Structure 1
Amino acid sequence: MSNAFDMRETVEITGDISEAIEAHLDEEFGDDVLDFQIYYNDRGEHSVAVALQTGDVVDGRVLLVMPKPASGENMYELSGIYEDEGPVSDFCPQRILELLSPTDNKEAIRWRDRCRHRLLREAGQTDSLPPEHEPDGRWDPDASALPIG
């Protein structure tokens, strides 16, 4: 099974978006997906944190599912991003972070740190240090994103 997660495609999704995302991950990656969490906002955008196993390594991925009304009704753009590409979305639950293999990749470390910082902030533990790197164009930094799934 190929793990070509780094993709961008426009697809039609009718019905429950969470079910469509789960079906997509299952169809494309099967048992290599160890866990995932879907977050969404009130603009219909979804950010999916994924722990994906490739051989002996488990790394983080982000799947962005964004409405594309200009392409037609029920059309969405799927964009897959490896953690070592520094995803702008920093939504990832602790249980997925704990599954990830150690890494020396600076972008992956920064992404994991930003995710942990967000978790601390959401838990009200604001005495922690801010993340060392904030990416431009973060995914929905001001709106609350709710986990589903």
Structure 2
Amino acid sequence: MIPRHLCLMGVSGAGKSTVGAMLAARLGRPFADADDFHPPANIAKMSAGTPLTDADRIPWLEGIGAYLAGHPGAVVGCSALKRAYRDRLRAACPDLAFLHLTGDPALIAARQASRPGHFMPASLLASQLATLEAPDADEGIIALDIAQPPARIVDAALAALGGS
């Protein structure tokens, strides 16, 4: 049975918004993009090319956790780069399952370069990759290769989750 709450995690440009929205549509659940939960100060900081700190991320993560806890089922796209961030989201929503969108940093950089007007500049990719704590086996996180087309990634996610 597919968990009621899913989080597509990964660095900026990995496809969380695209794949997450497609997955949510297939499951008939709402989709929320974690970018929409950032306060203006975080957006300004990232827009200026300054990486967020853990302290910057705490209220953001709390907002995402509250969103998940307030919905009977939902899909979110959230970087969740550190285990502590994932644990904070799990504390708010214990049935939350994670899908890690991962792949070649050059592909991710190319994707970032193709989204003009996004507040997250491609220059922050290196800091995101440095911050990313690869999920440990005990977290039960499903890794999905982003080199595939989004529809195939959704199919792979559903298969890995035990759905169709």
Q: Same fold (TM over 0.5)?
A: no
Q: Quick check: which one's helix share is greater?
A: 2
Q: TM-score, normalised by structure 1?
A: 0.27
Q: Quick check: which one's strand share is greater?
A: 1
Higher RCO (CA-CA < 8 Å; seq separation 6+): 2
Q: TM-score, normalised by structure 2?
A: 0.26
